[in-house]
Amino acid sequence: MTKLFYSPGSCALGIHVLLEEIGAPFELAKVNLAAREQFSADYVKVNPKSKVPALMRDDGSVLTEWPAIATWLALNHPDKGLLSLEKEQLARTLEAVDYVCASLHMQGFTRVWKPEAFSPNEADHGAVKARGQEIIDKGLIWFDGELASKAYLGGAQMSIADAALFYLEFWVAERLKQPLPAHVGAHYARMRARPAVAKALADEGLA
Ligand SMILES: N[C@@H](CCC(=O)N[C@@H](CS)C(=O)NCC(=O)O)C(=O)O
């Protein structure tokens, strides 16, 4: 059976949401990042990158990297409409996913949460965190504009891009305890109201 390796409230939450939206059976395998289980010999056998999410498919092979996992899941369940293959829609979906995963997460949140990854010098950490916050704020403004006249990033239908934005919204609202811009906040509330999202949050102990 498909197995998602996750840590509660991590970026794997977005993949967990997609699995719940799809509704096919899957198992959860918790990797406690706080206890550094991502570096354990057992987990390194699953994902030598020591990161979550990782998705073990039915044939035992493991897929890593948020955009790849989300794309693979959406393509395997085309009836769920999580990834339109219409040229403009597809390009815009990937644009949003990449902005969340590669820029806001990797460049923004990593600076805020792990400034030591950007500078070994503790005296720099305040400036590194401030730069991370700037990247996050700029991203939220961009997403706010995108959502000004739409329920979801692609229009009326939720896509993998919304699941990516959701984990980021969760971090801003629940971890940083910062307000979300109006349209992004409405999107966050809309996502939380979806039964699949509520179930993923509850199953991660985050409800
Ligand atoms: N590029 C990876 C990033 C995944 C990632 O950074 N995951 C974090 C949790 S949100 C992680 O596993 N961190 C553990 C660590 O860095 O030691 C992806 O897109 O899936």
| Domain extent listing, the chain | 3-80, 87-194
Indicate whether this model's pTM tops 0.95: yes
**H or E element, residue 130:** helix 125-146
| CA 102 / ligand 1 centre spacing (Å) | 11
The 10s digit of each residue's pLDDT in 135-180 is: 999 999 999 999 999 999 999 999 999 999 999 999 999 999 999 9
What are the DSSP E strand ranges found in the chain?
3-6, 27-30, 54-56, 62-64
| CA 10 / ligand 1 centre spacing (Å) | 8
| CATH class in words for 87-194 | mainly alpha
Q: What atom in ligand 1 is closest to the CA of residue 52? A: 12
Q: Which CATH code fits 3-80?
A: 3.40.30.10
pLDDT band at 207 (very low <50, low <70, confident <90, very high): confident
Q: Is the dihedral of CA 106, 199, 205, 32 positive or negative?
A: negative
Q: Which residues line ligand 1 (CB under 6 A)?
A: 10-11, 33, 38, 50-53, 65-66, 101
pLDDT: which is higher, 198 or 207? 198
Q: What is the mean pLDDT of residues 3-32?
A: 98
The 10s digit of each residue's pLDDT in 53-101 is: 999 999 999 999 999 999 999 999 999 999 999 999 999 999 999 999 9
